[in-house]
Amino acid sequence: MGRKLKFGKPTGFFDVFDRRPGPIKKNMHYCPGCGHGILHKLIAEAIVDLDMRDHMVVISPVGCAVFAYYYFDAGGISVPHGRAPAVATGIIRANPDSFVISYQGDGDLGAIGLNNFLQAANRGENMTVCFVNNAIYGMTSGQMAPTTLIGQKTATSPYGRSVENEGYPLKVSEMVAALESPIYVERVALTTPANIMAARKALRKGLTNMKERRGFSLVEFLSGCPINQKMTAQQVDEWIEKEMIPYFPLGCFKDIAAERKPISRPKPTFDKKKVLNALVSSAGITKWGAKSTVLRKELRVKCAGYGGQGILSLGMMIAAMGQSRDINVSWLPSYGPEMRGGTANCSVVLSNNVIGSPVVQNTNILIAMNQPSMNKFLPDLVDGGILLYDSTNIAPPKTDRRVYAVAASDIAIKLGNIRCANSAIMGAFAACLKGFELEDYEDAFEEAIRQTFRKKKELVELNIKAFHEGRKSVETRNV
């Protein structure tokens, strides 16, 4: 109040546009009658008046506003076509103290970048999108836009846009207002002085929402492109009033900023102790044993069965056992379609040396939990190798290798949950390892079970029980 009307360049602009190449440093590159110049001016005033400029990044999109950073005395970045809301998301998530204006045209926002725009709106990102809708592509010289009106002739709709070929013009504000997350959506026009004053107000509302960190605001600006419309500046304003506004009505579609609490983002921690604790605790290890020196040679183990039998967990438990005793281990799953039903297998290597190939081809120990798996992998068992199989599911094999049979599925069913059959057969594996003199294997395996089922704690005791039942039940059959 009481402030004098001042005519001149807003201080949100550079006084001299030094970033603009060529001799013209005082004027913008926009054509006479173009709406971008008006909107730029409104933004340059507002970011200073609202004291947001130091924290502001104005995104220069692909389109006529690609050089917006020539003019604004604020942070500037030019981004790929349509990606402004994604880049803006990166900026404000990485640094929630900054503000960002996603400045976009109708092709950038409504065509190539519609998904990025809608998703940012739907996430309620704390940003203001300035959407310049002039119903035509300016930069690439007059092609059809998603908002081109029915019957409007452009370089790529020379017979006029038709509903049959291109559908109806995209009503962006109406669409965004239908989403839950956005807080403020208004359509204005950069035509008459009255409309421009309404646009100024809407822009400031959007920016204020951002300053208060209330979330996502969209202001759609109907704007003229006299050059590509082949009209004078005055004609294009009349065209907007007569043709565009009836299809794209002006007004506020949504304003719920007052209902929303300010967005607050956590502060990241880099405290060494906290970082290491977070990483270690997620791995679920609670106890480490002493280094085991009793593994005499590299053990290459193959676990195989149906998907759903816990084959991958079985391998993981064996690997975790080795890891807990400072043995080098590798675990490699057959991943993918096998995980979704069908067969599953995994390779586990336990070694005192650096492990070369983690792919187990010459197998020392084969753990088979169904017939097809045993048939498939038994030929890979080396001389002196050991076969462990679930005798509930598999007929005794004809082989000259050492064989341990364990009715793992029966044990599991008796314990009340077929899904612990893998731990039962691991008991048999532990019994085999006894030959390798792994002195504290019971502790090590129990620890491995706890670690593997750390996210399903209710299953830990059951699996430990199954493990011991399996171990006890082992009978050696040299068939």
Using CB under 8 A as the binding rule, the residues of this chain from 8 to 47 that contact another protein are 19, 21
| 302 SS3 class | strand
C-alpha closest to that of 63 among 23, 22, 26, 110: 110
**Token pair 């502001």 is at which residue?**
56
Rounded Cα gap, residues 395 and 388, in angstroms: 12
CB of 347 to another protein, least distance (A): 8
Question: What contacts 393, CB < 8 A, 6 or more positions away?
Answer: 369, 370, 371, 409
Using CB under 8 A as the binding rule, the residues of this chain from 89 to 108 that contact another protein are 89-95, 97-99
Residue 24: CB atoms within 10 A of its CB come to 10
86 near another protein, rule: CB under 8 A: yes
| 344 SS3 class | strand
CB of 150 to another protein, least distance (A): 30
CB of 398 to another protein, least distance (A): 25
262 near another protein, rule: CB under 8 A: no
458-468 CB burial, b ≥16 within 10 A, e <16: ebbebbbbbbb
Stretch that binds another protein, among 174-182, 201-209, 269-277, 364-372 (CB under 8 A): 269-277
Using CB under 8 A as the binding rule, the residues of this chain from 172 to 191 that contact another protein are none
C-beta closer to another protein: residue 125 or 390: 125
375 near another protein, rule: CB under 8 A: no
Question: Pick from 2, 246, 336, 379: which binds another protein (CB under 8 A)?
Answer: 336
The site that binds another protein (CB under 8 A) totals a number of residues, namely 73
What count of residues does the chain have? 479
Question: Pick from 1, 16, 279, 395: which binds another protein (CB under 8 A)?
Answer: 279
Cβ contact 88:46 at 8 Å: no
361 near another protein, rule: CB under 8 A: yes
**Token pair 């204005």 is at which residue?**
188
275 near another protein, rule: CB under 8 A: yes
Residue 47: CB atoms within 10 A of its CB come to 27
Stretch that binds another protein, among 190-198, 335-343, 394-402, 456-464 (CB under 8 A): 335-343
**Token pair 């992998």 is at which residue?**
377
Binding mask 104-143 for another protein (x = CB under 8 A): -----------xx--x------------------------
Stretch that binds another protein, among 36-44, 134-142, 261-269, 397-405 (CB under 8 A): 261-269
379 near another protein, rule: CB under 8 A: no
476 near another protein, rule: CB under 8 A: no
323 near another protein, rule: CB under 8 A: yes
Question: Pick from 39, 87, 244, 405: which binds another protein (CB under 8 A)?
Answer: 87
Q: Which helix (H) or strand (E) holds 347?
A: strand 343-351
Q: Which helix (H) or strand (E) holds 87?
A: helix 84-94
Using CB under 8 A as the binding rule, the residues of this chain from 51 to 70 that contact another protein are 53-57, 60, 66-67, 69
Stretch that binds another protein, among 136-144, 160-168, 242-250, 328-336 (CB under 8 A): 328-336
Rounded Cα gap, residues 214 and 218, in angstroms: 13
DSSP string, 206-257: HHHHHHTT---EEEEEE---HHHHT--HHHHHHHIIIIIHHHS--EEEEE-G
Question: Which 8-state DSSP code applies to residue 15?
Answer: S
C-beta closer to another protein: residue 79 or 474: 79
88 near another protein, rule: CB under 8 A: yes
